[in-house]
Structure 1
Amino acid sequence: MRDTLVLNASFEPLSTVTLHRAVVLVLQDKAVVEQTHPEMWLRAAAVELPAPRVIRLCRYVRVPFRRRAPWSRRGVLVRDRHRCAYCGRRATTVDHLVPRSRGGSDSWLNTVAACAEDNHHKADRTPEQAGMSLLRQPFEPSPADAMLLALGLDGGSLPGWLSGGPPGVGRRLDPEAAA
């Protein structure tokens, strides 16, 4: 299970790694712990340390620029926080605003999380044709935002400098939250 966020030396998100790999990077002095799991400790014969949730590399690693976060069903559910875009209940499926049978694509802006009942009710129609309205509009997360959302982290659970901005400046991952 990948549950530790790895930040570059410049505090930009790079990837996620297993807890074991994160501990190895910290013990080899290649990374420092920025945030720990609450009440979770790792113990060995000679060492006891809090389990890292976010680590930062000590040296800057140059990575090629990624323009877009890859689309996935799991990504849509995580982006929408497992809440139905039509009624707000727990979402278990992904609904296409323009159905695939009518030329709709698997894209961030054409898919929303939906409960099974609303997905079945909408069926092979657009929301307007089904008389359904969206509680929030879909958006395309940046690659860094998609990674933070996948880890269950957002601007509210991280200090401002960890949520993408310079120290002291936080930002929200959901554009609707800012409005």
Structure 2
Amino acid sequence: MTHRSHSTTTEVTRLHGGPASQAAGSRTWTRRRVLLLNATYEPLSAVTVRRAVVLILRGRADMVHADESGGAFHSPATAVPVPTVIRLRTYVRVPYRATVPLTRSALMHRDRFRCGYCGRPATTIDHVVPRSRGGAHNWENCVACCASCNHRKADRLLGELGWALRTRPIAPRGRHWGLIAAVKDIHPAWMQYIDAGAA
């Protein structure tokens, strides 16, 4: 078992260090994330490209989607395309986490990148009841917001402006939201699996 682990690590190091396309360079290796699906195609987490390649080489996961750039990690014995989505071969039971962390990424996805006041594309986050006036930093008091509305609203209450929210902000529910909250940049290839998890 130890020998196999060492062999796999050596092979991955060779893949990293060997000739590779620009898309599969060291930046891709260390910074990009790959969507890891359960055997049932449920989104589980986002792992590094290195971890994804190790899982594939060890036969624990299969490639579902590769990067469209065509980049690959090469060694004398094999070539592994840069993965964007992989799937475990064996089902893994994961404890359900009911509370979703409030992050910019998750909140923007909850509000579909639209301003909670006017519906235009959102670029920032606003506290409905400003924190300077006792508002909490939670799902029920935060909305995606465009720069114009954010500037006009400042530290005032909606009643003082005669404004109303387009929809009532609530905390999202579902395992996939933990993934959205944890990842800043979500690859387009992930969305079909994340949307399926929301259904």
TM value normalised by structure 1: 0.73
Letter in 1 for 2:38: N
Q: Which residue matches 1:30? A: 60
Q: Which residue matches 2:97? A: 66
Q: Which residue matches 1:53? A: 84
Between structures 1 and 2, the one with greater strand share? 1
- How far the C-alpha of 1:137 sits from its partner, in A, is 4.0
> Superposed, which structure 2 residues align to 1:86-165 within 5 Å?
86-142=117-173, 143-148=175-180, 150=183, 152=186, 157-158=191-192, 163-164=196-197
Pair 1:125–1:95, CA change in 2 (3 A): same
Aligned residue pairs total 165
- How far the C-alpha of 1:115 sits from its partner, in A, is 2.4
Give the gaps of 5 or more residues in structure 1.
166-170, 172-179
RMSD: 3.0
Q: Mean Cα displacement is larger for which, 133-142 or 56-65? A: 133-142
The match for 1:84 among 73, 95, 115 is 115
Whole-Å separation in 1 of the counterparts to 2:36 and 2:178: 14
Between structures 1 and 2, the one with greater helix share? 2
Q: SS state of the match for residue 197, structure 2?
A: coil
Name the % identity.
43
Give the gaps of 5 or more residues in structure 2.
1-30
- How far the C-alpha of 1:8 sits from its partner, in A, is 2.0
Q: Mean Cα displacement is larger for which, 84-93 or 10-19? A: 84-93
- How far the C-alpha of 1:17 sits from its partner, in A, is 0.7
- How far the C-alpha of 1:120 sits from its partner, in A, is 2.1
Pair 1:155–1:61, CA change in 2 (3 A): same
Q: SS state of the match for residue 144, structure 2?
A: strand
TM value normalised by structure 2: 0.67
Whole-Å separation in 1 of the counterparts to 2:33 and 2:53: 12
Letter in 2 for 1:6: L
